[in-house]
Structure 1
Amino acid sequence: MNNFDYRNPTHIVFGKDRLGELDKLVPQDAKVMVLYGGGSVKRFGTLDKVLAGLGERQVVEFAGIEPNPQFDTLMKAIEIVRAEKVDFLLAVGGGSVMDGTKFVAAAANYDGDEADILKHGFAPPPIESALPLATVATLPATGSEMNMGAVVSYQGGKFPVMHPLLFPQFSVLDPSLTFSLPPVQVANGVVDAFVHTLEQYVTLPANGHIQDRTAEGILKTLIEIGPVTLANPEDYEARATLVWAATSALNGFIGAGVPQDWTTHMIGHELTALFGIDHGQSLAIIQPSVWKLRKQKKHAKLLQYAERVWDITEGDDDQRIDAAIAKTREFFESLGVKTRLSEYGVEKSQIDSIVQALEDHGMVALSETGDLDLSISRQIIEDAYA
């Protein structure tokens, strides 16, 4: 196992009817900006419950954070934060709202070009402070409610922002707030959590026995619970399990001290930016092809994944690995998520634009070993096409 530091300061408030506790969780003298996306939080009454929970505090609302939050939209929120002297941010929504709120927190006090915050990849940007933030999660998928990361869309690309100051102070996870989600969003969330786990697990052996067994537990749980919660969206126990699985997939624990990949995410980001393909769908398209092209690099962990997650023990090594890749694709498709790029209306001639976008955004040395260059990325995308 590699050396690591692990700290996660986020207070999780999990369970039914917890929004009434906001009055105890948010500082009494805070001036709060509540940030959200479209009309669903209003339509289903979540926003009213949040505002009631905040009591007599001064509250400023900011609506309209889109899926894949846009830099220009977030700058509008930042201008209001500065003008109104907001000192606490509360995200109410899914991963995009949470990610956008983290960027607002990072940029509100930044003395410089806010776009510079997006130019540091997975290294912390040079911010010296951030506004305190918290979340009310309404979509189980990204794990943003319990980590220090965000992804922001800017000038045709998607850019990660990572900094310890961006951990939410607390996150309210009430599974019942997710009952009204459309099935496609639930399915995308299951895939997102699944691939988050894979990116930290199917890499290189590192003797991270606790991390591996935890990752395998999350994967097997998602395989079990994904179809159940899709078929019965108001099954509280099933949805509660999904919510906690999604949070656990990316709160830093299973990635501590072990290699991480993120190739699937980096290529998937370009599919979303170029063609508007949902994030979860982009991952379902790319993941099987990454493994097909990287079978030798990931040989040991793919065999481990085949046996421990899918109970595949028959056949030679290649047969078991191929069976595990096929099972993964079948799982995604069983959720209603298509796994071929051609099924999303993308033309084969547009593969060049995907590879060009990867080059433009510096994605030229991907994978846990840093040796996945543009030529291999092209092969992965071509394989994922049809």
Structure 2
Amino acid sequence: MNNFTYFNPTRIHFGEGQIAQLANEIPSDARILITYGGGSIKKNGVLDQVHAALAGRHFLEFGGIEANPHFETLMKAVEVVKAEGIDFILAVGGGSVIDGSKFIAAAARYQGDAWEILQTYGSKITDAVPLGTVLTLAATGSEMNNGAVITKAETQDKLFFFSPFVQPRFSILDPVTTFSLPPRQIANGVVDAFVHTLEQYSTYPVNAKVQDRIAEGLLRTLIEEGPKAQANPQDYDVRANLMWSATMALNGTLSTGVPTDWATHMIGHELTGLYGLDHAQTLAIVQTAVWKYKLAAKQAKLAQYAERVFDVRDGSQEQKALAAIEQTEAFFAAMGNPPRLSAYGLGEEVIEPVAAKLTAHGHVALGEHADITPEDVQAILRLAL
């Protein structure tokens, strides 16, 4: 196992009715900006619960944050924060709303051009408006980490940043808030959490038994509960297990002491930025193509994955690894996220633009061994056609 330092200061309030905890978490004299997305929280009663918990407090609202939050939209919220003296941000929504709110929090106190936050991956952030979250879509884990991904619509650039200054002070996870999600968002959430786990697992062995077993448990849970959530969206226990799985998948636990990959995410970000696919759709497209291209380097962990997650017992190590790829593709397809570019009306025309964007963004050495070049990415995408 590799050396590591682990710290996660986000307080989690998990379970039905926990939105009421907002009254205890946010200072009574705070000037609050509630951020949200398309407005579903108004229809499903979540915003009413937030209002009730904040009764007597000063708050404003900013809606319309996109599924892939746009820099241009978020800068409008930054203007509100500055003009109204906002000193606490409450993100009510899924990962995109939370990611966008992290950027708002940092940009509102950033000295200089806010685009630099993304160009420098958050390294120049020295302060941010405090924020908390009410999670309504289990997927990204943004509710318990310090990362965010933002898109500049004008230039089709999708970039990420990290900073301890935007780590949520608290997050409220009530599985009931996810009951009204449509099947596409359920599928995206499951696949997103699944690939987050795989990016920290499907590399090479370092004898990190605890991290491996946690990852394998999360993967098996997602495989078991994902289809159940689509069949019965209001099953509380299913939703609770999916919500906690997605949070655990990217709160820093799995990445401690192990090599991580993230090539699938980097390639996927460019596909989303250029062609507007859902983030999880791009992950389903790219993940197994990366494995096929790097099969020799990843064979040992893929065989372990086959044995422990899919109960594949027969065959050589390579045969087990190939079975793992086949089983994973079948799972993605069953959830509604087919693992091929052609399923989304895309073909070879995307290959060079994606590679060019990766080069422009400085992502020229991807993967756990930093040996996936933009030329390799082109080969990977051909495997995903």
Give the counterpart of 1:127 among 111, 125, 136. Answer: 125
- Gapped regions of structure 1 (runs ≥ 5): none
Shift of 1:25: 1.2
In the alignment, which residue of structure 2 is the partner of 1:74? Answer: 74
Q: Is 1:139 matched with 2:137?
A: yes
Give the corresponding residue for 2:367. 367
**Distance apart, 1:156 and its partner CA:** 1.0
Per-residue deviation, 1:349: 2.5
Task: Report if the CA contact (8 A) 1:74-1:103 is conserved.
Answer: yes
Mapping of residues 1-386 of structure 1, within 5 Å = 1-121=1-121, 124-154=122-152, 155-385=155-385
Query: Could you state the TM-score of these two structures normalised by the residue count of structure 1?
Result: 0.98
- 8 Å Cα contact 1:342-1:348 kept in structure 2: no
Q: C-alpha separation between the residues in 2 aligned to 1:355 and 1:126?
A: 27
Q: Which amino acid aligns with 1:147?
A: N
> In structure 1, how many angstroms separate the alpha carbons of the residues matched to 2:370 and 2:79?
39
CA contact under 8 A between 1:366 and 1:372: conserved in structure 2?
yes
Question: Aligned with 1:297: secondary structure?
Answer: helix
Report the Cα offset of residue 350 of structure 1.
Answer: 2.9
Query: Could you tell which deviates more after superposition, 9-18 or 201-210?
Result: 201-210
**Equivalent-residue separation in structure 1 for 2:43 and 2:198 (angstroms):** 35
In structure 2, distance between residues paired with 1:93 and 1:50: 12
Q: Deviations 1:155-197 (Å, cap 9, x if unpaired)?
A: 3111111011111111010000000000010001000000000
**Shift of residue 134 of structure 1?**
0.3
Question: Residue 261 of structure 2: SS of its match in structure 1?
Answer: coil
Matched position secondary structure for 1:330: helix
> How far apart in 2 are the matches of 1:221 and 1:299?
23
Structure 1: distance between partners of 2:347 and 2:377: 17
* Residue ranges of structure 2 left out of the alignment (5+ in a row): none
- Asked if structure 1 preserves the Cα contact closer than 8 Å seen for 2:15 and 2:175, the reply is yes
Cα drift, residue 110 of structure 1? 0.8
For 1:65-98, what per-residue CA distance to the aligned partner results, in whole angstroms no more than 9, with x for missing partners? 0011011111100011001000000000000000
Query: For 1:120 and 1:314, how far apart are their aligned partners in 2?
Result: 48
8 Å CA contact 2:300, 2:317 repeated in 1: no
| Bigger Cα displacement from structure 2, 93-102 vs 147-156 | 147-156
Determine what percentage of the aligned residue pairs are the same residue.
Answer: 55
CA distance in 1, matches of 2:18, 2:10: 16
Encode CA deviations 1:213-264: one digit per residue, 9 max, x unaligned. 1001000111111111110000000010000000000000011111110000
1:353 partner letter: P
Cα deviations by residue, 1:8-44 (Å, 9 ceiling, x for unpaired): 0000000001112211111111100000011211121
Q: Matched residue pairs, number? A: 383
CA distance in 2, matches of 1:308, 1:20: 40
Q: C-alpha separation between the residues in 2 aligned to 1:106 and 1:282?
A: 28
Q: 1:105-132, CA deviations, whole angstroms, 9 ceiling, x for partnerless residues?
A: 11111111111000124xx421211111
Q: How many Å separate the matches in 2 of 1:144 and 1:350?
A: 28
Alpha-carbon distance between aligned partners in 2 of 1:203 and 1:317, rounded to the nearest angstrom: 15
Amino acid at match of 1:141: A
> For the Cα contact (< 8 Å) 1:89–1:132, is it kept in 2?
yes
The code of the aligned residue for 1:136 comes to V
Decide whether the 8 Å contact of 1:148 with 1:162 is kept in 2: yes
Contact 1:118/1:159 (8 A) holds in 2: yes
Secondary structure at the counterpart of residue 96 of structure 1? helix
SS state of the match for residue 298, structure 1?
helix
More displaced stretch, 156-165 vs 6-15: 156-165
What secondary structure sits across from 1:296 in the alignment? Answer: helix
Aligned residue identity for 2:172:
V
Q: Residue 48 of structure 1: CA displacement? A: 1.6
CA shift at 1:314, angstroms?
0.7
Report the Cα offset of residue 4 of structure 1. Answer: 1.0
